[in-house]
């Protein structure tokens, strides 16, 4: 009886779990793929394929407080850009302006690309949601 039970339950469990999307750090594979696509189109030229940036012009995205810290600030940077001035990251100064993306990317694309960045290049952080992007975009 136990053997019959195991012969039914184990294959059923394996079959049901095979339909789940693989997850990376609690983030769906589809989100990471969409985020990488946006990154490759919009971010890669300045921040590079490895997220290392181009010192002293464009900052790295690897394990920095800007990427792993306050999500609202990160969303705001993507939406509004950086209009010049200097920022310091890991002891290095960067001063190249970053163009605003609010007219270029929709809320889903921003959520996806920021989730991708926050979970790539050795980073591990919570996902950015569409609702979080909408909330920041809605503030003037």
Res 139: pLDDT: 76
Are 112 and 42 in contact by the 8 Å Cβ rule? The answer is no
- Residue-wise pLDDT tens for the chain (140 aa)? 666 655 554 655 554 444 444 445 589 999 999 999 999 999 999 999 999 999 989 999 999 999 999 999 999 999 999 987 788 998 999 989 999 999 999 999 999 999 999 999 999 999 999 999 999 999 75
Res 84: pLDDT: 74
What superfamily in CATH does domain 26-138 come from?
A: Cytochrome c-like domain (1.10.760.10)
Res 19: pLDDT: 44
Res 18: pLDDT: 42
Q: What is the pTM of this model?
A: 0.81
Q: Where are the domains of the chain?
A: 26-138
Please give the angle made by the CA atoms of 76, 79 and 80, to the nearest 5 degrees: 80
Res 8: pLDDT: 52
C-alpha torsion sign, points 123, 30, 77, 138? negative
Q: Running DSSP on this structure, what letter comes out for residue 21?
A: P
Q: For the chain, what percentages of helix, strand and coil (3-state, to nearest 5) are there?
A: 50, 10, 40
Res 22: pLDDT: 43
């Amino acid at each position: 009886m136990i053997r019959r039970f195991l012969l039914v339950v184990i294959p059923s469990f394996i079959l049901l779990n095979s339909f789940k999307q693989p997850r990376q750090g609690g983030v769906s594979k589809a989100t990471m793929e969409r985020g990488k696509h946006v990154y490759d189109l919009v971010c890669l030229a300045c921040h590079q394929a490895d997220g290392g940036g181009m010192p002293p012009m464009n900052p790295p995205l690897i394990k920095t407080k800007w990427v792993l810290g306050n999500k609202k600030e990160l969303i705001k940077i993507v939406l509004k850009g950086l209009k010049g001035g200097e920022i310091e990251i890991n002891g290095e100064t960067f001063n190249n302006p970053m163009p605003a993306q609010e007219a270029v990317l929709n809320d889903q694309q921003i959520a996806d690309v920021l989730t991708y960045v926050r979970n790539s290049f050795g980073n591990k952080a919570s996902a950015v949601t569409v609702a979080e992007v909408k909330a920041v975009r809605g503030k003037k």
